Each structure stands twice: as structure tokens, then as C-alpha cells.
């Protein structure tokens, strides 16, 4: 599921940061990074899933038709599965956010003074003096009361609600792009070289994605790269061995 970026804040004292009811924005920089991270993860899933599938089938049989059929099924099925999973996950999150937004609007229309007091108390809990908290609450309420309460109470804004369809398409596209690498590699290469070159291409792609994901997430690049490469290599080796055993035993 896609994680929403924290709302912006303004520092009022050295130790206190209060959420700001900033102007409407289409998408924050942090939000775009979240989409990029989701894309990297989707591509990684596509590479590993389809590579393991086609390498396993190639280990069992040299039939290009069988490999193509398995790879196509894995690519299409995986993309649909990723899209459905992302749609359900983001829809649930978006529904929860919309419920919170409607509740805040309802409470503000019924008891605006009580909501102002509540907002001031929230700022007091963050460390502001009562008078300062009241002033901040009044000023933010004058700008946009709904946004002020959403940021202070739930750390969300109305324009943070993500489209479930958008998330589903992004997830499916990322998976498909990742899956195309091993799928095309094993189909287009000569039979004698298809497995080792596919292995190499997949591991290089995984290393690149591992470094990219680590960079976007601010985590150590070497550790993340080693982890994703070892995981991908293990998946390829296991499926290739299983396919080879099935092929030599005459099961397929």
C-alpha cells in the first residue's frame, strides 16, 4: 500500500513544530518519492516473480513455446494481482481518510467554538503556552479550519487522499516493466545462453533497483543492494533446480 507523506509544519519554538494549514497543493515532494518507492517495489516484484517462473520452466524444458506461455501467464496474472491488491489497499485507506474529513467538517459545523478549544488544547499538548496555543489555533482556523484540524489531529489533508485507480495502474505498470526484462531476455537469447545471461541481467537489474530504493528511502545502499540481490538469486536458483529435477525425472 502507498504511504502518505507527513504534512508540512512550522517551528514556533526550538522544540515545537505545529502542523500548518498551508495552501492547497497537488502533490508534495515527499508524496512523489512515495510513488517512486512504490514503483521500484513493483518493478522488483515483476523481475523476481517472472524471472523465477521462466527460469524454472527453462530448467524443465527447452521449449520456447512453453517458456513463453508460462512467462505471459505470470506477467499478466502478476500485473492484475498487483493492481487489485493496490486498489483494495488504497481504497480502504482513502475511505478511512474521507470518513475523517467528513467527521471534522460535521463537528466544525455543529460546534465551531468547541473545535477551536480542542485545537488549542492539541497545540498545548505539543508544548505551546496556553495563550500562544490559542493564538495559533485562531489564526489557523481563520485560514482553513478543516485543514487545521485534520493536520493537528490526524496528520492528513484533504488533498492527501490518493486515487485508488491511479495507485492500481502505477502498480500494474511497474510490475509489467520489471517483468519484461527476464521475459524478453529468456525468449530472445539463444537456447545455450538464455539461462546464464538471464541470471546476470536479472541480478544487475535487482542491484540497480536495490540502490535506487535505498536512495529514495535514505537507507544504506550496500546493505539494501546485497539483500535484494541475494533474495533474487536464491529465488532463481531454487526454481531452476526444481525445474531441472522435474525435467530430468520425466514429470514434464
Residue 62: pLDDT over 50: yes
Residue 13: pLDDT over 50: no
More confident residue, 220 or 161: 220
Q: How many Cα atoms sit within 13 Å of 95 on the Cβ side? A: 6
User: What confidence score (pLDDT) does residue 25 get?
Assistant: 46
**Beta strand 9-13 pairing with 16-19:** antiparallel
Q: What are the phi and psi torsion angles at 26 (to 5°)?
A: -80, -45
| pTM metric for this prediction | 0.74
Highest mean pLDDT among 32-41, 45-54, 86-95: 45-54
DSSP secondary structure code for residue 126 in this structure: T
User: What confidence score (pLDDT) does residue 24 get?
Assistant: 44
What residue segments make up the domains of the chain, in order of their start? 9-19+31-245
- For 186-228, give the DSSP string: HHHS-TTTHHHHHHHHHHHHHHHHHHHHHHHHTS-HHHHHHHH
Is residue 153 helix, strand or coil? helix
**pLDDT band (50, 70, 90) for residue 249:** low
User: What confidence score (pLDDT) does residue 39 get?
Assistant: 83
In percent, the amount of the chain with pLDDT more than 90 equals 39
CA distance 60 to 58: 5
Amino acid at each position: 500500500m502507498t504511504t502518505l507523506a507527513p504534512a508540512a509544519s512550522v517551528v514556533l519554538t526550538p522544540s515545537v513544530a505545529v502542523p500548518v494549514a498551508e495552501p492547497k497543493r497537488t502533490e508534495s515532494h515527499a508524496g512523489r518519492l512515495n510513488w517512486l518507492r512504490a514503483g521500484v517495489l513493483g518493478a522488483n516484484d515483476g523481475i523476481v516473480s517472472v524471472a523465477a517462473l521462466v527460469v524454472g520452466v527453462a530448467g524443465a524444458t527447452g521449449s520456447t513455446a512453453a517458456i513463453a506461455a508460462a512467462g505471459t501467464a505470470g506477467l499478466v496474472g502478476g500485473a492484475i494481482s498487483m493492481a487489485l491488491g493496490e486498489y483494495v489497499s488504497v481504497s480502504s485507506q482513502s475511505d478511512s481518510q474521507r470518513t475523517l474529513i467528513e467527521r471534522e467538517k460535521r463537528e466544525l459545523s455543529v460546534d465551531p467554538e468547541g473545535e477551536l478549544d480542542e485545537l488549542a488544547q492539541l497545540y498545548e499538548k505539543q508544548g505551546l503556552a496556553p495563550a500562544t496555543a490559542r493564538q495559533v489555533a485562531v489564526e489557523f482556523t481563520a485560514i482553513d479550519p478543516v485543514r487545521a484540524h485534520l493536520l493537528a489531529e490526524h496528520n492528513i489533508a484533504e488533498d492527501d487522499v490518493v486515487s485508488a485507480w491511479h495507485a492500481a495502474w502505477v502498480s500494474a505498470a511497474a510490475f509489467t516493466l520489471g517483468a519484461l526484462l527476464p521475459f524478453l531476455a529468456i525468449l530472445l537469447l539463444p537456447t545455450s545462453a538464455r539461462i546464464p545471461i538471464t541470471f546476470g541481467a536479472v541480478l544487475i537489474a535487482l542491484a540497480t533497483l536495490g540502490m535506487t530504493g535505498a536512495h529514495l528511502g535514505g537507507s544504506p545502499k550496500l546493505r539494501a543492494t546485497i539483500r535484494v540481490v541475494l533474495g533474487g538469486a536464491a529465488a532463481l536458483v531454487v526454481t531452476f533446480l526444481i525445474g531441472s529435477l522435474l525435467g530430468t525425472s520425466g514429470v514434464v
